Amino acid sequence: MIAEIVRYKTILNTLGELVQKSPFKIDYIIRETGIKPATFYRKMKGGTFTPDEALKIAIILNPEEAYIHELKESIKKAKDDIQAGMTFKHQDVIEEIKRELL
């Protein structure tokens, strides 16, 4: 657990540099995170973003990685659902779709 915390602190301390080097304008990142500009710059300088803020920034800076992570999580959830028996027969799904569309 200590290693993860140290790694997280390193990420927070380098996040500002990553934001500045990114192809995105800082104004865009500020707008997308919903953090006030003055607060954003203060947090960027001090490396004091909250975990949720850091995640929002990481998703903005790495959209492909965020998509792959989301896809992997969806697949994992689907496998868990299958193991738990939370499935539907193909024919039942088709009939439900027909009822909704007609």
pLDDT tens digits along 66-90: 999 999 999 999 999 989 988 888 9
Let me know: does 13 contact 47? Beta carbons within 8 Å. Answer: yes
DSSP 36-58: -HHHHHHHHHHT---HHHHHHHH
In whole angstroms, what is the distance from residue 27 CA to residue 95 CA? 48
Angle of CA points 22, 35, 6, to nearest 5°: 65
Which pLDDT score is estimated for 102?
Answer: 81
SS3 content of the chain, % helix, strand, coil (to 5): 80, 0, 20
